[in-house]
């Protein structure tokens, strides 16, 4: 059976935060959750990571209920455990102790083996002037591309 490509991204993450260190983690899911994700019915836009008792969890990640999932369906916004090694967890825990730091999901994807993985990043929030600067750079790049296209 060919694997359907899953590419669920948090497009706001790069605009809202300065992304520092990135980690790839597995997610502990139930059967109905993975089936819903394979159908593309998930969102990581409002999600963030927390550390609780030496474990990293993703909170507020939305996975819609599986339509054929009778009474054993999952809750759409429950906490889901991320699978990381102890060294990575301790690094993340130290990083999150500082005020203003957060753990942001960037992308949900399937690995080569067919396992669902999530790309998370340690991040700090951007100030308004940083966001304006990013928009200005983006507009300038777009203008240069247009000019180059016209000249060809």
Domain boundaries, the chain: 7-126
Q: How do beta strands 116-125 and 7-9 pair?
A: unpaired
CB 75 within 8 A of CB 102: no
> Chain-wide mean pLDDT for the chain?
81
pLDDT over 60 (residue 75): yes
Closest C-alpha to 6, from 56, 47, 43, 57: 43
What are the tens digits of pLDDT across the range 95-150? 888 887 888 898 888 888 878 888 888 888 877 777 788 888 888 888 888 888 88
Instruction: State the pLDDT at residue 1.
Output: 38
Q: What is the C-alpha to C-alpha distance for residues 144 and 81, in angstroms, rounded to an integer?
A: 44
7-126, which class in CATH? mainly beta
What are the tens digits of pLDDT across the range 11-62? 788 778 888 888 888 888 877 778 777 777 788 888 888 888 888 888 888 8
Match 């929030």 to its residue by tokens: 125
CB 126 within 8 A of CB 132: no
Q: What is the C-alpha to C-alpha distance for residues 152 and 28, in angstroms, rounded to an integer?
A: 51
Scored b (16 or more CB within 10 A) or e, 76-85 reads eeeebebebe
Q: What is the C-alpha to C-alpha distance for residues 19 and 119, in angstroms, rounded to an integer?
A: 12
| pTM for the model | 0.73
3-state helix, strand, coil in the chain (%, to 5): 30, 35, 35
């Amino acid at each position: 059976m060919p694997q359907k490509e899953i590419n669920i991204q948090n497009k706001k993450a790069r605009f809202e935060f300065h992304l520092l260190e990135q980690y790839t983690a597995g997610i502990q899911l139930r059967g109905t959750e993975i089936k819903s994700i394979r159908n593309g019915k998930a969102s990581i836009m409002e999600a963030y990571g927390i550390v609780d008792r030496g474990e990293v969890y993703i909170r507020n990640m939305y996975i819609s209920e599986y339509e054929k999932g009778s009474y054993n369906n999952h809750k759409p916004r429950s906490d889901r455990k991320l699978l990381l090694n102890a060294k990575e967890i301790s690094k993340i825990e130290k990083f999150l102790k500082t005020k203003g730091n957060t753990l942001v999901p960037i992308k949900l994807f399937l690995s080569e083996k067919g396992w669902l993985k999530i790309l998370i990043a340690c991040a700090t929030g951007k100030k308004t002037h940083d966001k304006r600067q990013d928009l200005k750079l983006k507009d300038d790049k777009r203008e240069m591309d247009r000019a180059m296209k016209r000249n060809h």
